[in-house]
A and B are shown apart, each in its own frame.
Chain A
Amino acid sequence: MSGTGNILEVVKVNKSFHDPVTVPVLKDVSLSVKRGEFVSITGKSGCGKSTLLYILSTMDTDYAGDVMIDGEATQGLSGSRLAEIRSEKIGFVFQFHYLLPEFSVLKNVMLPGLKLGKYSAEEVEHRAMERLKELDMHEHALKGANQLSGGQKQRVAIARSLINDPLILMGDEPTGNLDSKNTAIVFDIFKHIASEHKQSLLVVTHDNDFAARTDRTIVMDDGRVIS
C-alpha cells in the first residue's frame, strides 16, 4: 500500500489519437481512488472516459503522465509485468461478458486464478465456487458459458473478475447490455464488494441513475475531468 492510501492515483495523464490527424482525447486528467471506494465515471459519448479506463487498466500504454496502481508506477513497465499487475490487482467487467464458450462456467471463473498461481488448482476451484455462490450462480457452475442468459453471463464475468481478490474492480459499462432488473442486481453486487470486501470499484457508465448511487461520480467532458 502506498503512503497516500490510494489504490489508484492518476497524475496529469494526456493522450492523443494520431490517426489520421492528431486529436487530443485526454487532457491533464488527474484523479485518485481510495480503498473500498465505489467511484463512477460519467460523461457524454466520446468524452474519453473509456479511453481513460483502458489506460488505468494498464492495457493501453500509449499515453503521457503517471498512473500509480497500489503505489507502483506503471508507465514504462514491460508487457509481462503489466500482465502480472492485471492478474494480481485488477479485475475487469466489460459491457460484453467475454466468457470463453469452450469452457464451463466454473473453468471460466478459475482461469485467471490458475494463471496467477497463488493457490493450488483445488483451492482455486473452491474459491471460484465461493464467488459463484456469492453471486447466486453456483447452480450453473458446470454449464457451458453459452447456456446462460445475458444477466447470468455478466454475473459470471463479475465472479471471474473477483477470483484473485483484486484491489480494484474496473468496469466499462458493465450494465450497458442489461435490463433494469439485472442492472439492479449487478449494482447491489458492486455495492456489496465495496462495503464488505473493501475492494475499490471504478465504473465507467452513461447511466446517470447508476452513477448517482455510487460513492463518488467523476464527470468528464471533452477529455477533461470537470467535477
Chain B
Amino acid sequence: MKLLLSIALTLLRAKLRQSIVAAVGVTFSITMFVTLLGFMNGLNAMLDGLILNRTPHVRLYNELKASPEQPIDLTTDTATHHFVRSVKPKDELPRLRNAEAIMDALVKDPRVLAISPRLVSQVFFNVGTVDLNGQVNGIDVVQEVRYYQFMDYLVQGDPEDLATGNNTIVLGKGLADMMAAGIGETVQVTTPTGERSLLRVVGIFQSGIADYDKVQCYANIKTVQKLLARPGSYYTDINVKLHDLLTAPALAKELSARFDVDAVDIQTANAQFETGSNVRSIISYAVGIVLLVVAGFGIYNILNMMIYEKLDAIAILKATGFSGRDVQRIFLLLSMVIGIAGGAAGLVFGFVMQNVIDSIPFITAALPTVTTFPIDYNPKYYIIAVTFALLTTWVAGWFPARKAAQVDPVEIIRGK
C-alpha cells in the first residue's frame, strides 16, 4: 500500500497543476458548504430562538370554555333539534387547580428538564390620563434565566433586582417608551379587579417582536400574586422544558389527561418555524452537495485524462507484476489524495469564512443581543462536508481507476 501511495504521489507531482486545479475545486465546494451551512443554521437558530426560546416545550394552563353540556341536552326528546345554549362559561378563575401537586409530579418525571410556573394577568398601566393595556407575567426569575434565555432579551437592568426586589417590574421596550419610563422610575398598575399598585422599573427587555414588546412585562411571581391579592399557590401556567423536544406532543396529551388541564406542545404552537428551518436547511444542503458533485466531475475529468496519458505506465506496471487491482488502487489513492488535500484546505477556509461572516456587523432593532451575523460553528457540518468530499472523490476516482485496471497491457505494448 505504501508503494502504491508513493507511485500515486509521484504521478500526482508530475501533473501538479491539474491536480491542484482539481483539489481547488474540492476546496472551494467544501469552503462554501461549511460556510453556507454554518451561516444558514446560525440564522435559523437565531430566528427560531426568537420564538422558541421564549416558548415552553409544553405549557399547562386552564382555558375558559363554554360548558360542553347544556341542560337541554339532558332531555330525552330526540325528535327535534335544539339550539338553546344558555349556560355561559363558569365564573371560575383561570388558575391551575392543584398546581403545586402538579409541579411536584413534574419535577420527579425523568423526561422533564425543568419547570417554571407563571402567573399571567391582564393589567392597565396608568399614564397620566391614559390607561395602557398590558400583560404582566409573574415568573420564577431564576428558572427563566436558566432555561428560557431571559438574559438575552434583557437590554437594560439586572435580573437579580427582579428576583429579589419587592414590587419590581421589567417592561417591554415599546411599553417603556410609550410610558417614558426608565430604570428606577415607578409606574402605576391597575389590576382587572381594580386594585392599584406602584411598581418600580428595574429593567427593559426587547424580544424582537414589536407588538409583543408593547404589551408584555415581567415581574416576580410573588409580586404578581400580591398585586392580584391571590395566595402563594396561585398559578395560571406551568411551563415545562423537556430533555427531548420531540417527545413534547405525546407528553402534552398525557399531562392533559392526567391532571385535567389544557396542554399545548411547542410543535403545535409553532409549527411554521420548524417548516421554515427545515426548508432553509434543505436548500443549503442541496447547494453544498451540488458544489461537491461538480468538484467530483472535475476530479473525474482530470483522472480520466491522466489515465489516458499514462497508458504506457499502466501497461509496464502490469507487465512487471502489478495486478489490475494495484493499478486501480493507485488511481483511487490519487483521487483520494486530491480529495483529502482539497477537503482539508476547504475546512480551514470554511472556518476562516465563518469567522469573517461572524465579524460582519449586523445590528437590528428587532434583535437586541445580536451585533454580528450569527454563525453556527457546529462541527457536525465539518464532518458532513468531509464525508461527502471523500465520498464524491472516491466515486469520481473509482470509475477512471477501474478503467485503468482494465487496460490490456498487450494492446498498449504491441501498439508501439
Interface positions of A (Cβ within 8 A of B): 50, 54, 57, 59-60, 79-80, 82-84, 86-88, 92, 94-96, 98, 100-103, 111-112, 114-117, 160-161, 164, 172
Contacts and interface: CB of A to CB of B under 8 A. Distances in A.
B130 interface: no
A96 B13 contact: no
Contacts of B321: 83-84, 86-88, 112, 115-116, 164
A114 B317 CA distance: 12
Given A96-B416, A100-B313, A115-B320, A80 B325 contact: yes
Nearest to B406: A79
Interface in B11-59: 11, 13-14
Contact of A112 (B10, B320, B408, B413): B320
B229 interface: no
Nearest to B3: A114
Contact of B320 (A86, A95, A101): A86
A82 B7 CA distance: 21
Given A96-B416, A98-B312, A102-B10, A59 B318 contact: yes
B316 interface: yes
Given A87-B321, A115-B326, A98 B316 contact: yes
Contacts of B325: 79-80
B14 A172 contact: no
Interface of B: 3, 7, 10-11, 13-14, 312-313, 315-326, 408-410, 413-414, 416
A102 B11 CA distance: 7
Contact of B10 (A83, A84, A98, A103): A103
Contacts of A84: 321, 323
Contacts of A116: 321
B318 A98 contact: no
Most buried by B among A95, A103, A160: A103
A111 B315 CA distance: 14
A37 B312 CA distance: 30
B319 A79 contact: no
B316 A115 contact: no
B322 to A, nearest CB: 6
Contacts of A117: 3
B319 A86 contact: yes
Given A98-B312, A100-B313, A102-B11, A60 B410 contact: yes
Contacts of B14: 101-102
A1 to B, nearest CB: 21
Contacts of A59: 318-319, 408-410
11 contacts: A50-B414, A59-B408, A60-B410, A79-B325, A84-B323, A86-B320, A87-B322, A98-B315, A98-B316, A115-B322, A164-B321
B410 A83 contact: no
B401 to A, nearest CB: 15
Nearest to B321: A87
Most buried by B among A82, A87, A98, A172: A98
Given A83-B318, A87-B322, A96-B413, 15 more contacts: A54-B414, A79-B323, A80-B324, A80-B325, A83-B324, A86-B319, A86-B320, A92-B319, A98-B312, A100-B313, A102-B10, A102-B13, A111-B7, A111-B317, A111-B320
Contacts of B7: 111
Contacts of B317: 111
A88 B319 CA distance: 12
Contacts of B318: 59, 83
A100 B320 CA distance: 12
Contacts of B414: 50, 54
Contacts of B13: 102
Given A54-B414, A60-B410, A100 B323 contact: no
Nearest to A60: B410
Closest 8 CB pairs of A and B: A87-B321, A83-B323, A98-B316, A112-B320, A80-B323, A102-B14, A96-B416, A54-B410
A92 B312 CA distance: 14
A57 B410 CA distance: 10
A82 B320 CA distance: 11
A57 B313 contact: no
Contacts of A95: 416
Contacts of A80: 323-325
A57 B319 CA distance: 8
A14 B308 CA distance: 32
B278 to A, nearest CB: 49
Contacts of B410: 54, 59-60
Contact of B324 (A79, A164, A172): A79
A117 to B, nearest CB: 8
A86 B11 CA distance: 23
A84 B408 CA distance: 17
Contacts of A115: 3, 320-322, 326
Contacts of A100: 313, 316
